[in-house]
Amino acid sequence: MTYDFNWAVLIEYKELLTDGFIMTLKLSVIGIFLAFIMGTLISLMRVSKNFFISLIGVYYTEFFRNIPLIVQMFFIYFTFNLTDIFPFLEKFASFTGVESSNEFFSALLALVTYTSTYIAEAIRGGIHSIPKGQEEAAKSLGMSYIQTHFLIIFPQAVKIAWGPITSQFINLIKNSSLAMTIGVAELTFQTQEIDSLTFRGFEAATAVTLIYLFLTLATSSFMGVIERFALIKTGGMK
Amino acid sequence: MIKKSITALIALTLISSLAFADKLADVKKAGVLKAGVKYDFKPFGYVDKTNKVVGFDIDLLNYIAKKLGVKITFQQVTSKTRIPLVASGKIDIAAASMTHKVKRDETIDFTISYFFDGQAILARADAKEKSYKDYENKRVAAIQGATSGENFKRVQPKAKIVYFQEYPQAIMALKKGKVDAITTDLVWCSTQAKESNGAFKVIGSAFTNEPYGMGVAENESNFKDEINFAIQDAVRDGSYSKLYKKWFGKEPEKLPEVWPK
C-alpha cells in the first residue's frame, strides 16, 4: 500500500503541537520537582528508627506503587474536585497559565504520587549502600541525627541513586501522556487530534516520537551534567 | 532453468494476488465479514448485561452478512479508531454511528446513508440552558475523533470543549459536575436521558445534520455495491423498519434511498 507523505500538515497544525508540548512540559517540570521532594521525604521516613513513621513510609510506597497510574488518575479526577478542596490551586493554575485546572492537577497529583514511590525506593537503595562507617564517623564528630542524615548520608545516597532517579524522571515525562484520558490536552492528545483531523497518522506519530525523544534526551543530558559537576566538586571518580 | 521457473512462480503469485484484489471476493472466500462497531454507544452498538454486543448497527450488519452469505465477527471501534481500522484493512466494514463527511471520503468510502441523526446536547436535570447559545464559557464534553467537538465549537466558539476517549468517562464527568454538558448525536442523548431516571435531560433540538454511513475500504466498488444493495433490500422487505421500531420505538421518518432494480 503506497502512502504519500504529507509533512506539511505538521507545519499547518504547529499550534496544536506547540500547545501540547507546553502542556506536557508543565506537567513534567512541576511533576519532576514535586516527585523528587516527595520521594526524598518518603525514603527518609522509611529508614527512620521510629516504627510508626517508617510504617507510613512503607504503606505509602506499597499503595501508590502497585496501583496502575491510569487507575490513580481516574480515581483522583472522578472522586475529588481538587480545585474545590484546595482553593490555592486556582491561583497556581492562572500563574502557570493552565485552563482546565481540575484535570491538570488531578493528572499531576497522580503522576507525583506514582513516581515518588519509585524515586523513594531508589534513594533508599542509595542510603542502604552507604557503609555504616559514615554514620558512625558523623556521630563520633558530635553531629545530631538530622545533621548526620542531611549533610552526610543523604547527599551521598542521592549521588549513588542518580541513575535510577534519572530513569524515573524520564518515566514521568512519558507517563504524562496518560493525562489525555481525563481530558488534558497534552502532546499525545494533540497528535491524535491532528490524526483525526487530517488522517495523517504516520506523520503525527513521527512528530510525537521525536518531540518526546527530545524531552527525554534533554533531561538525561541535564542530569548527566549535574552528575559530573557534583563528582568534580567532591573529587570522586571520573 | 531454475531462474525461469522462479520468475514464472513469482509472476503467477502476483497475478493470482491481483485476481483476488477484489474485496468482495476476498470476504466471500474467507466466509467471514470483519465488522467494527461501537461498544459504548446505545442504541447503535453497546454491550448488554450478558456481555454480548447488541444494537441497531449490529442487527443491520447481521442482515447484510446473511445477504452476502458469510458469517460475521464484531470488533470494538471508537470514534477515533474506526476510520484507520477500515483504511488499513483490519476490518472490512465499520458501522459505528459514523457521519458521512466529505472530508472522510478522502480516506475511506461510505455506503449510502442508513440513518439520519443530528447533534444535540445532554445535560444534568437541573441545567438552566436552553440551547447551544447558552454555553458560552461553559465546559462541554465531546469524544476525540468525532464530529461533535468541532461542530459545537462552530456554533458556540466561546465554549470550552473537554475531550474524552470514550463515552463512559464523559458520562462520569457530567454526573460529577466536571463538565456542564455532553454534545453528541441526538439519539444517544435521548437514550441516556430516558435511562437516567431523571438525572439527565436533552437540551434543545438537533442543530446539525448527521447522516450515518457505513465505512468501507477506498476503491472497492463491488464490495460497496453489495453492501448498498443489501441495505436497500432491508428497506424493501420491511426488515429496516422492523429494526428501526425495535431500537428507536417509532416508525422511521426518513428511509435510506432505494434504487429500482
Runs of H (alpha helix) within B137-250: 148-155, 167-175, 186-195, 221-236, 239-248
Q: Are strands B71-76 and B53-54 parallel, antiparallel or unpaired?
A: unpaired
Domain that holds residue A117: 26-185
Cell for A71? 487507575
Lowest-pLDDT choice from A20-34, A136-150, B62-76, B136-150: A136-150
A44/B234 Cα distance (integer angstroms): 71
pLDDT value at residue B14: 58
Cell for B223? 464490495
Lowest-pLDDT choice from A3-12, B94-103, B123-132, B210-219: A3-12
Q: What is the pLDDT of residues A113-168, one digit of tens each?
A: 999 999 999 999 999 998 888 888 888 888 887 778 888 888 889 888 999 999 99
pLDDT value at residue A2: 43
pLDDT value at residue B253: 86
Q: State CA A178 to chain mean position distance.
A: 13
φ/ψ (deg, to 5) at B40: -135, 25
Residues of chain A whose pLDDT is less than 50? 1-2, 237-238
Per domain, the residue ranges of chain B are 23-116+211-248, 119-208
Q: Which of B78, B106, B144 best tests the A interface by mutation, with the highest count of A CBs <10 A?
A: B144
Average pLDDT score over chain B: 88
Q: What is the pLDDT of residues B99-123, one digit of tens each?
A: 999 988 988 999 999 999 999 999 9
pLDDT value at residue B197: 86
pLDDT value at residue A144: 82
Nearest to A156 by CA among A134, A139, A137: A134
Beta-carbon separation of A201 and B84 below 8 A: yes
Asked if the domains at B23-116+211-248 and B119-208 fall in one CATH topology, the answer is yes
B182/B205 Cα distance (integer angstroms): 14
Beta-carbon separation of A77 and B84 below 8 A: no
Q: Which CATH architecture has domain B23-116+211-248?
A: 3-Layer(aba) Sandwich (3.40)
| ipTM for this model | 0.76
**Total residue length of chain A:** 238
Q: Is the pLDDT of residue B16 over 60?
A: no
Q: Which residue has the cell 441523526?
A: B117
pLDDT value at residue A235: 53
CB B115 within 8 A of CB B96: no
Task: Indicate the class that CATH gives domain B119-208.
Answer: alpha beta
Nearest to B106 by CA among B83, B125, B89: B83
Distance in Å, alpha carbon of A128 to nearest chain B alpha carbon = 44
Beta-carbon separation of B178 and A180 below 8 A: no
A159 domain-assigned: yes
Strands (E), B40-97: 40-41, 45-47, 53-54, 71-76, 93-94
Q: Is the pLDDT of residue B15 over 60?
A: no
Beta-carbon separation of A196 and B106 below 8 A: no
B164/B166 Cα distance (integer angstroms): 6
Per DSSP, the three-state class of B219 is coil
A100 domain-assigned: yes
Q: Is the pLDDT of residue B150 over 50?
A: yes
> Is residue B116 within 8 angstroms of chain A, CB to CB?
no
